[in-house]
Amino acid sequence: MPAPGEFFGIDIRIGTVLSAEPFPEARKPAIRMEIDFGPELGVLRSSAQLTVRYTPGTLVGRQVAAVTNIGERRIAGFVSQCLVLGAMPSAADVILLAPGQPVPNGTRVG
């Protein structure tokens, strides 16, 4: 069980996908993205296994929720700087979490 207060240390923000492309070097099918989190955080990169429901073209311009303060992770030579969040009906299927209405990039989720 997490220590009291650990949950509130997670920084979840809303950002807009600026670019997306296939990531064939990844072990499992994935998409590389650049996501704009507004002036405070800027543009961060992420790799996500979203290929069951999304193509790179359907992601560009979409707002997504992501954890932005977990550090960097190297995936097949690509540096992922945030973790895009989604619901997982099955191990390979991800449905992105996103706001119901447009919000400014960088808006905190709380």
| pLDDT tens digits along 30-60 | 999 999 999 999 999 999 999 999 999 999 9
Residue 82 has pLDDT above 70, yes or no: yes
* 90, 91, 93, 97: CA torsion to nearest 10: 90
> Distance between CA atoms of 5 and 13, rounded to whole angstroms?
18
Q: Is residue 79 part of a domain?
A: yes
* Residue 44 belongs to domain with CATH number: 2.40.50.140
pLDDT level of residue 92 (50, 70, 90 thresholds): confident
Domain count, the chain: 1
Residue 43, domain extent = 11-96
Q: Is residue 46 part of a domain?
A: yes
Q: Is residue 56 part of a domain?
A: yes
The dihedral of CA 106, 56, 100, 81: what is its sign?
A: negative
Share of the chain above pLDDT 70, in %: 93
